[in-house]
Amino acid sequence: MNLLVAASILACIVAGAGLVTLVRRIASPMVDLPATPDWIGELSVDRYRPMLRMIDADEFRFLSAQPGVTPKEAGEMRRQRCQIFRGYLRSLSTDFNRVCAAIKILMLHANTDRPDLAQALLRSQFTFALGMALVHARLTLFSLGIGTVSISSLLQPLQNMQLELRTLMPATMAAAA
């Protein structure tokens, strides 16, 4: 019984720490500014498409079936791919945070209030942060040989905010001229 209580308390502490981290990331993301019009024009979710294949379970099954490939080699390749995938996740997070920061700056300098955009921004930030936490958890399991990882929950909020930013940019640039 005491073990059950201790495990429950530990689970609550971990969940609370995760929630605090999630809220802190949403409230104050670390972002390099400014997001220039050139950067906005070059930004595309297509640059993250290799992530879809990088840790594909079918690819690892194919590799394991090849003659001469030891389980140790397959495991090492899995770990290396997970490291590269984490690098892509950091880049994806940075791009998303830069887009959100640019939208916030444009909203501050806009002539009209956009409560709908503010609400969409908060919703997207929450969805992205939650998706990022889930992807990291699934990636940890995947590195141990369990389950699969999908990044669609991360690409959609980035794409939505990228479209919003692109629609705001011309209006802001025209107003500044």
Q: What's the pLDDT tens digit per position in 82-108?
A: 999 999 999 999 999 989 988 888 888
Confidence of residue 20 (pLDDT cuts 50, 70, 90): low
Same domain, 18 and 8: yes
Query: CA 52 to CA 48: how far, in whole Å?
Result: 8
Q: Are residues 38 and 112 in the same domain?
A: yes
Peptide bond into 34 cis (omega under 30): yes
- Comparison of pLDDT for 34 and 122, the residue scoring more: 122
Confidence of residue 69 (pLDDT cuts 50, 70, 90): confident
- In angstroms, the CA 156 to CA 121 distance is 13
Question: Greater confidence, 159 or 22?
Answer: 159
Residues 63 and 147 placed together within one structural domain of the fold? yes
Instruction: Please answer whether residues 96 and 31 qualify as being in contact, where contact means their C-beta atoms are separated by less than 8 angstroms.
Output: no
Residue 28 has pLDDT above 70, yes or no: no
Lowest-pLDDT range of 3-17, 67-81, 82-96, 155-169: 3-17
Are residues 87 and 120 part of one domain?
Answer: yes
Task: Tell whether 19 and 44 lie within a shared domain.
Answer: no
CA distances from 17 to 3, 22, 24, 112, 159 (A): 21, 9, 11, 38, 29
Same domain, 48 and 18: no
pLDDT of residue 152: 84
Residues 142, 55: Cα–Cα separation, whole Å = 8
106 and 168 inside one domain: yes
Residue-number span of the structural domain to which 72 is assigned? 31-176
- Is the pLDDT higher at 79 or at 44? 79
* Residue carrying structure tokens 């791009």: 95
Residues 106 and 35: their CA atoms lie apart, in Å, by 11
Sign for the CA dihedral angle at 158, 99, 55, 78 comes to negative
Mean pLDDT of 125-147: 91
Question: 36 and 17, same structural domain?
Answer: no
Number of domains in the chain: 2
Verify that 77 and 96 share a domain, yes or no: yes
37 and 16 share one domain: no
Average pLDDT over the chain, rounded to whole?
81
Q: What percent of the chain is predicted at pLDDT more than 90?
A: 21
**CB crowding 107-118: b at 16 or more within 10 Å, else e:** beeeeeeeeebe
Report whether pLDDT(123) > 80: yes
Do residues 56 and 7 share a domain? no
Asked whether residue 23 falls in the same domain as residue 106, the answer is no
